[in-house]
Structure 1
Amino acid sequence: MQPRTPRRLRLLVVEDEVIVALAIKETVEDLGHEVCGVARSEAEALRIADAHRPDIALMDVQLAGPVDGVEAARRLRADLGIRSLFLSGCADHATLARLTASYPLGVVHKPFSSAQLKVALDLASRRLRLPAAVPAGA
């Protein structure tokens, strides 16, 4: 029996550093996925996500504006049902605890390789097909 190939995903990149966001976008597209938008802040992420309904948000912890990526991910999930995969350079215990409490699809630590992102996206794609075990408002 052949393993199932993960499906092509539509992604929203949420990253405040423009050069990093473009590099992520290029990597995601090289992996065969579609980027439907790039946002620098929670407000931008919510607006783009509402208009384009991505499958996943690739979310940095540090964002432009007063709201960080953990709260932005919580809002995307609660308001629009969109789950996040974190791409973050933050590895301190408090931040990781907050990430875990937001029920992400995964966490990839920066700097990351294309292979690491591919594995994380493949796993996220499979997790999206599972029945939801955690309420959207959690």
Structure 2
Amino acid sequence: MSKLLSSLKLSTRPEKTSDNPELKRREKLLAKLDQQLAMAQSHIKGEIYTCYREKWQKNAETGVQEKVKIPKNVAKWFYKRGGQYYLEVRFANKPLELSKGNHAIEVGEVENLTTIIATVIEAVVAGELDKLLTESASQLPLSKK
């Protein structure tokens, strides 16, 4: 091996997400939780959060296809009831039952929202919600899994 290559840290090829449905579900939930975290941070600051998606569109003047950013609606997973905030962790547009009969996490004050979402992200990374995600995915039609 050459000097240059030996100076690099080599490893085996990591497993593809598409090969492991459990990892795929976990990454999908993590992406949504990152959106919710950004939305919560904006909510605390009193700002409006806008999420964008990219779309190919033909430019009317030049006739050339170009990528444009289009705002998309993202539903909040947190809400205020009776003077305090609650958070629902959602997968496949349904709240996960985190424990028997409990779908929401009591947050309390709005300032705690980002901390709670960060804790949920850590739990997802640690694999603590994998069983719930698998159960939720098993209830979906085959085309959506």
TM-score strictly above 0.5: no
More strand by share: 2
Structure 1-normalised TM-score? 0.29
Structure 2-normalised TM-score? 0.28
Q: Who wins on radius of gyration, i.e. which is larger?
A: 2
